[in-house]
Structures are given as C-alpha cells and as structure tokens.
Structure 1
Amino acid sequence: MTRRDFDPATVTPDGRPPAKARLFDATVDGPNRGFINGETLATQITVLTYGNDEPGVGPMLHVHPYDEVFVVQEGRARFFVGDQTIDAEAGETVMGPAGVPHRFINLGPGRLQTLDIHLSPRWIQTNLE
C-alpha cells in the first residue's frame, strides 16, 4: 500500500539532529527497566518500558497531567482507567487520558511487557496509593 498523506515539500526541517538514547539495560532485573525523557531527544514524548512475569502484579494507581498511551508488546494486561476496566493483549494499545487515575496488572500466563508513551517532554506522575 502506498501512502501519500502529505506533500513532503510542505514540511521544513526544524534543524534538530537525529538523536539516540538507551531506553533500558536488558541485563537489569525489575519491572521498571528504564525511561527516556523527551527533552533528552529534543521531542515532546517520553518513553518508558515496563515488564513483569507475575500475574496480578503491576504499577500502583497513579495519574499524569497529560495523556499516556500503553502498547502491549507481550502478554495480557488488565487496565483500570478511571471507572473503566480494559483488557488488552500483545499488539493492542490503550489510552489513559490526562488527569484520569490509572494502573494495570499482568493477567498472565507469562510475561507482560509494555511500552508506555507519555505525551510530555518529561515524566510527571503522582502516585495515589
């Protein structure tokens, strides 16, 4: 499929160079393996990686002043976003709106691995538990 959503001649590069940063160290154990603040890459998104092998386990209830998009890369998760419960599996995404408390757990069996995209140049969070 050929995509032509815009005319490339209408976009002027802003002068930022390409950038690279390490998201996580694969040799380190634990669920929160790492994050990159967007300002490190001169962009407006922050990326985190989370994973665990224990059904029923996940991050505590928290909230952000911006939207967060979760990409389930491996396994199955149950998300609690405000008063909604959303089950998602590898290949699916879930969006948590700004100001809405949320958390998720590994539904098992096996590993849950997510890539969490914060629509902010910095990771800003208030834990509620």
Structure 2
Amino acid sequence: MTRTDFDPATVKPDGRPPGQARLFDPAADGPRRGSVEGIALGGAVTVLAYGTDTPGAGPRLHVHPYDETFIVVEGRARFLIGDTTIDAAAGDVLLGPAGVPHRFENLGPGRLQTVDIHHSPRWIQTDLDQD
C-alpha cells in the first residue's frame, strides 16, 4: 500500500542532525532497563524500557504532566489508569493521559517488557505511593 499523507515539499528540515542513544543493555538486570530523554537526541519525547520476570511487579502509582504511551513488547500486563483497568498483551498500545495517575503490573507467566513513551523531552514524574 502506497501512502501519501502529506506533500514532502511542505516540510523543511529544521537543521537538527540525526541522533542516537542506547536505551538499554540487554544483558543488564533490573526492571528499569534504561531511558533516553528526548533532549539528548534533540527530540520531543522521552523513551523508557521496563522489564520484569516477576508476576505482580511493576512501577508504583505515579503521574506525569504529559501523556504517556505504553507499548507491550512481551508478556501480559494489567494497567490501572485512573479508574480504568485494562489487561494488555504483547502488541498492545495504551495511552495514559496527562494528569491521570497510573501504574501497571506483570500478569505473568514469564517476562513483561514494555517501551514507555513520555510525550516530553524530559522525564517528569511524581510518585503517589509511599515506600
């Protein structure tokens, strides 16, 4: 299928060079596998990698002043976004709207791996759960 969503002649390069950064080391341990802030690449989004093999494990309840898009790369997860509960599996994409508290957990069995896209050049977060 050929796509022609816009006329390329209407978009002028802004002079930024291409960028590259390493999101995570595949051999590293721990759930927060890594992050790349958009500002490091000259971009508008920050990307995080999260992975855990432990059922029930996941980030604590938190909130951002911007939207967050979640991509489930591997496994199954339960997302709690505001008052909504969504069970998701590999291949699913979810949206956490700005200002809405959210968290997710590994439903198991096996590994949960997500890529989380923060719609901000910097990672800004307030945790709502206490240790």
Normalising by the residue count of structure 1, what TM-score does the alignment of the two structures yield? 0.99
Deviates more, 1:113-122 or 1:18-27: 18-27
Between the aligned residues of both structures, percent identity stands at: 71
What residue in structure 2 maps to residue 118 of structure 1? Answer: 118
SS at match of 2:40: helix
**Matches of 1:44 and 1:6, distance apart in 2:** 21
1:84-117 CA deviation, whole Å, 9 max, x = no partner?
0001100001100000000000011100000000
Partner amino acid, structure 2, of 1:59: P
What residue in structure 2 maps to residue 108 of structure 1? Answer: 108
SS at match of 1:34: strand
The gaps in structure 2 that reach 5 residues or longer are none
Normalising by the residue count of structure 2, what TM-score does the alignment of the two structures yield? 0.97
Matched pairs, number: 129
What residue in structure 1 maps to residue 50 of structure 2? Answer: 50
Partner amino acid, structure 2, of 1:128: L
Q: RMSD of aligned C-alpha atoms?
A: 0.5
Matches within 5 A, 1:35-114: 35-114=35-114
**Structure 1 runs of 4+ with >3 Å offset:** none
The gaps in structure 1 that reach 5 residues or longer are none
